[in-house]
Amino acid sequence: MKRYILVRLLKSIVSIFLVVSIVTLMLFTLIPRMNIFEKDGAYKKLNGDAKTSYVYTKLDELGYLDFVRQSEMCALASDVTACNNNDADQIAEVTKLYEEKGYNVKTMLNGTLYGYYDYKPFEILWNYFSKVIVVDNPDFVKNTYGVELENTGYYFGLDYNNIPALMCNGSQYKYQIYFDASFPFIHQNIIHFNFGKSYPTKAGMNTLDVIGFGQGELKSKDVTFETGQTFKSPVNLHTAKYKVSLDGLDSKKFNDNYADCDSYYQAPSMVNMSYLMGIISIIITYGLAIPAGILMSRKKDKLADKIGLVYINILNSIPSLAFIFFMRQIGLMIGLPASFPQLGYFDIRSYIMPILILGLMSTPSLMTWTRRYMLDQANSDYVKFAKAKGLSEKEVFNKHILKNAIIPIVNGIPASIILCISGAFITESAFSVPGMGKMLPDSIKLLNNNMVITLVFIFTTLSVLSVFAGDLLMTVVDPRIQLTSKKGE
């Protein structure tokens, strides 16, 4: 069992890696790289050398190529000053040097030299993956900012709420492991994922922060800082990061250089938004569809079954968009908003229709399957035998039919719970819900490569894990299934 889980996890990691690699390569090599500037306002305003410089800086940032300016190139020249002063011999020397390394060396309109090296596919992948996992360490400040701190290392201390936390001096984050009131209550800052920066939308922000940070207005409250002063501030002190130079306000609040904090926002993040809606809609789906499917199977060919089949057929045959707009219209008639931003995050009425629609849209298939599994079991030999044993219909149903019929349904539950993170594109678009659903199509449209990779990684990982979780859950409900890896597999 343990061995199986280990092998399976290993296989999962390999498959996730493969998927992300393929997507990364496709994005970086198959899409003309100049296309990414189409949606960039700054690019359009620039001209001449400024534009060239901007383009290569961005491409360098995004991992397409390595961009070198004249000053950098001249550092390798035998006479650095002469090279910087455009001495023809020196220029020719560094040009040759860089061209040998595979760089394209060119001159700008004003005569300055620049060069770029197009990464090969393998290098793109390597550069990308080598930076994905960032482990915080006590030497972070020294290695990144070149600042020597005293007393670097881990220590146990109390946070600003006087709750014990594992802290560290010299690392990027002050709080390495800490507790707070939000799920899952224990949090860490030791390992972070870095999927690069979002571009061209939300430029400069880490892709994970784009989907993970709260939205809307900052949420301020009275915070007592380390210095004992109380300010109205939205900061989340647990996210304190090292800041090289403090401004006046920072030094009023903080005793040390860990002054760079994330903020609390009024509205939930995209992920939380989709997840919240998804979870409630799943509860609706399962809450309605399983009892309905069971009822249909028990009253097969009777009125209840026929009504259920009509419902299933109607919902299956109506295009989902039509269903959404139909429901939205009904919502309007009873005073619910037609789109989410009308009443916003804090009005429960904004949520009712999207959640109800999401919940209802998946009922037909679950009802069909539940009914079908129930009927399959009801016609099986052991159910007949159980009946012949003299058990009452209720006993046969509870002990024999239901338990068996529920097994394949149980298998799908983790997937539906975990995958609601990915959001629901059509419903969220129809109601303009700021959730995850629109992120993937939007980022593909805008050629936000890093965002696409991030989302692909997240969705792939969650899919693989949820299938895995479903299989593990099966072993709990079905004694026949045992997870073992046999030799020779």
383 vs 464 by CB, closer to other proteins: 383
Q: Which is nearer to other proteins, 76 or 483 (CB)?
A: 483
Q: Quote the least distance from Cβ 337 to other proteins, whole Å.
A: 47
Which is closer to other proteins, CB of 390 or CB of 488?
390
Q: Strand 164-169 and strand 153-158: pairing?
A: antiparallel
User: 């400040």: which residue's tokens?
Assistant: 141
89 binds other proteins (CB under 8 A): no
Residue whose CB is less far from other proteins, 203 or 407: 407
Q: Which is nearer to other proteins, 219 or 300 (CB)?
A: 300
Per-residue interface string for the shown chain with other proteins, residues 25-44, x marking contact by CB under 8 A: --------------------
Give me the residue label for tokens 């009425």: 349
- Judge whether 278 and 424 are in contact, CB under 8 Å: yes
Which lies closer to other proteins via its Cβ, residue 203 or residue 391?
A: 391
- Give the binding-site size for other proteins (rule: CB under 8 A): 23
Amino acid at 46: L
Candidates 174-182, 308-316, 452-460, 473-481 — which segment interacts with other proteins by CB under 8 A? Answer: 473-481
User: For other proteins, which is the closer residue by CB, 245 or 392?
Assistant: 392
> With respect to other proteins, which residue has the nearer C-beta, 262 or 478?
478
In the complex with other proteins, the residue whose CB is nearer, 374 or 430, is 374
Task: Tell me how far apart the alpha carbons of residues 207 and 199 are, in angstroms, rounded to a whole number.
Answer: 9
Closest approach, Cβ 368 to other proteins, in A, equals 22
Least Å from the CB of residue 476 to other proteins: 11
Q: Specify the stretch interacting with other proteins by CB under 8 A; choose among 39-47, 134-142, 460-468, 475-483.
A: 475-483
Q: Does 474 bind other proteins (CB under 8 A)?
A: no
Q: Judged by CB, which is closer to other proteins: 250, or 478?
A: 478
- Please report, to the nearest 10 degrees, the dihedral formed by the alpha carbons of residues 474, 480, 482, 486 taken in order: -140
Residue 312 beta carbon to other proteins: minimum distance, rounded to whole angstroms: 22
Among 338, 407, 419, 473, binds other proteins (CB under 8 A): 407
Peptide bond preceding 138 in cis form (omega within 30 of 0): no
Minimum CB separation from other proteins for residue 367, in Å?
A: 22
Listed residue (116, 98, 66, 94) closest to 84, CA to CA: 94
Q: 337 - beta bridge partners?
A: none
CA pseudo-torsion sign 134, 140, 141, 146: negative
- Taking the complex as a whole, the smallest distance from the CB of residue 399 to other proteins amounts, in Å, to 7
Q: Which amino acid is at 242?
A: Y
Q: Does 477 contact other proteins by CB under 8 A?
A: yes
**Residues 385-404 close enough to bind other proteins by CB under 8 A:** 385-393, 395, 399-400, 403-404
Residues 6+ apart with CB under 8 A from 459: 419, 422, 440
**Residue 468 beta carbon to other proteins: minimum distance, rounded to whole angstroms:** 21
- Which 343-382 positions form the footprint of other proteins (CB under 8 A)? 380-382
Least separation, in Å, of the C-beta of 477 and other proteins?
7
Q: How far is the CB of 486 from other proteins (least distance, A)?
A: 17
Stretch of 12-20, 33-41, 384-392, 439-447 contacting other proteins, by CB under 8 A: 384-392
Question: Could you tell me the smallest distance in angstroms from the CB atom of residue 309 to other proteins?
Answer: 18
**Residues lying near other proteins in the complex (CB under 8 A):** 380-382, 384-393, 395, 399-400, 403-404, 407, 477-480
